[in-house]
Structure 1
Amino acid sequence: MPKPVVISHFYQAPPEAVWQVATDFACFAEAMRGVATFEGMPTEGRLKAGDRFDVRVRLFGWMPPMNYYMTLAAYDPALRCFRSIEHGGSIRRWEHVLQVVPENEGARLTDTVHIDAGLTTPLMRVWARYVYRKRHPPRLRMLQSRQPV
């Protein structure tokens, strides 16, 4: 398997606030606005250990839907870390690890993604970089508008 895609962003916010935004379904939908829609994904509440989602994904909200499957394989709110294992379409395996760690006067959120999509793996790596970078500006806005944790 090729090297993982690693995207990291710093937030001038407490680690717990960043974790809350990263694991909240409404915040996920907002962060993905214009990038993809996930039919069948909860629209409120938070991730929890053992979650499994069978969804229909539409890239950019208008492309033909694709069946996609996500399982939360590990979830540790004390460490502010989760690992999901996903697949669908040409994606055989999309393993995503998200971790939030304290840094200076804020927090660093790092997404690490291992992708196996056969011949389309290079394209999916480009897609992963795009998606995880696109989530950063909406998260900044959400963190600025939230009350302190």
Structure 2
Amino acid sequence: MKLTLATTFPAPADQVWPLVKKSRTLLFVCKGLLGFGDSGRFPQQWREGNKEVTRLLFFGFIPAWKHTLTFERIDDDQRVLATEEGGGLVPVWNHVIQVAPDGSKACTYSDEVNIEAGVFTIVVWLYAHVFYRYRQRRWRTLLREIAHHSSSI
């Protein structure tokens, strides 16, 4: 089952795209709903071919299953990052992030997720809907903080 959510950020694509590739950005935008048990091992920046196995932590502290993230594609020209993910009750959670310019001071950010979780697919899809809306709100918070402090994470 596929989910696609897109939003416009008040920041240029050239500012947002480098943040997409940082593991600290993933931790920031998920914080509160989802954490990663072994995040201290994550590389500073994701690279095509990276594979991480981590324990998911619901709400940042409730241990769940082990989850594998494989970075299948990181395309700087097209500003696309694609992962093949899965584990536990959700064997397929494949995610594509795309950042497209929307003028010189804004960009369109989209999350596309393909989910396969057997009989749980619809429940997981509903969770993903909430999760990615939350992540996009956290992205807005991050971009405001960066603009306010004139620094990056």
TM-score (norm 2): 0.88
Partner residue, 1:74:
73
Counterpart residue type for residue 69 of structure 1: T
Taking the aligned partners of 1:118 and 1:93, their CA distance within structure 2 comes to 10
Comparing 19-28 and 114-123, the one that deviates more: 19-28
Would the aligned equivalents of 2:71 and 2:83 in 1 still touch at CA under 8 Å? Answer: yes
Comparing 98-107 and 34-43, the one that deviates more: 34-43
Would the aligned equivalents of 2:55 and 2:63 in 1 still touch at CA under 8 Å? Answer: no
Would the aligned equivalents of 1:84 and 1:97 in 2 still touch at CA under 8 Å? Answer: yes
Partner residue, 1:123:
123
Partner residue, 2:50:
51
Closer/same/farther in 2, CA of residues 98 and 136 from structure 1, 3 Å limit:
same
Residue segments in structure 2 that go unaligned for 5+ positions in a row: none
Counterpart residue type for residue 108 of structure 1: T
SS in 2 for 1:65: strand
Q: Give the root-mean-square deviation of aligned CA atoms.
A: 1.8
Taking the aligned partners of 2:20 and 2:42, their CA distance within structure 1 comes to 14
Partner residue, 1:37:
35
Partner residue, 2:90:
91
Taking the aligned partners of 1:119 and 1:9, their CA distance within structure 2 comes to 30
Q: Deviations over 1:53-94 (max 9, x none)?
A: 000001112323311111011111221101100111111211
Is 1:136 the counterpart of 2:139 in the alignment?
Answer: no
TM-score (norm 1): 0.90
Counterpart residue type for residue 28 of structure 1: L
Q: Compute the displacement of 1:138 (Å).
A: 2.1
Partner residue, 2:23:
25
Closer/same/farther in 2, CA of residues 27 and 119 from structure 1, 3 Å limit:
same
SS in 1 for 2:91: strand
